Amino acid sequence: MNPYEEKIKQYIQDNHLQAEHLSFTTSCHSVEDAARSVHTSAEDFVKNICLIDQQGNLIVAIVKGEDRVSLKKIGKALEIEPPRTANPPEILEKTNYICGGVPSFGYSATFLIDPKVMEKEMVYSGGGSENSLIKISPQELQKANQGQIIKIRK
């Protein structure tokens, strides 16, 4: 198994999270690819948008799969200049996961969760690699990352 997948599976086990790790032979890089892998719709997915603030700190904005993040709302909520999108090398450096497989927890960041995410019974999130997902309730996800619930979607 992929070392990134092993790492997040170990984190789930060590922290006694109620979450299921799923591995596929197909890509889960995009929400559309992931939805095909699980045979469900984009509405059941969350995206973890990795952002960098002026000081170089990681902010992870978690929104439903079909939603987009508002950098202005994030800046206003955190009382900072709007952050910028992290590039793939920064994502790997800050999360220790590759772009396209970043989980919603398991590393140090400021986590922001859009309220629409909390309306779902279960969601799918990145599972550590481009071929894996984590199935988890939004409440357990928030428990895992200590995220703030703030409207951050456009």
Model pTM?
0.93
Domain boundaries, the chain: 3-149
Q: Provide the pairing of β-strand 148-149 with 123-126.
A: unpaired
Q: How far is Cα 138 from Cα 136, in angstroms, rounded to an integer?
A: 6
For 97-121, what is the mean pLDDT? 96
Is residue 6 scored above 90 in pLDDT? yes
pLDDT tens string 42-100:
889 999 999 999 999 999 999 998 999 999 999 999 999 999 999 999 999 999 999 98
Tens of pLDDT, residues 119-148: 999 999 999 999 999 999 999 999 999 999
**Beta strand 58-64 with 46-52: parallel, antiparallel or unpaired?**
antiparallel
Contact present, 77 and 65 (Cβ < 8 Å): no
pLDDT of residue 120: 95
pLDDT at 1: 63
Look up the CATH number of domain 3-149.
3.90.960.10
Contact 109, 58 (CB under 8 A): yes
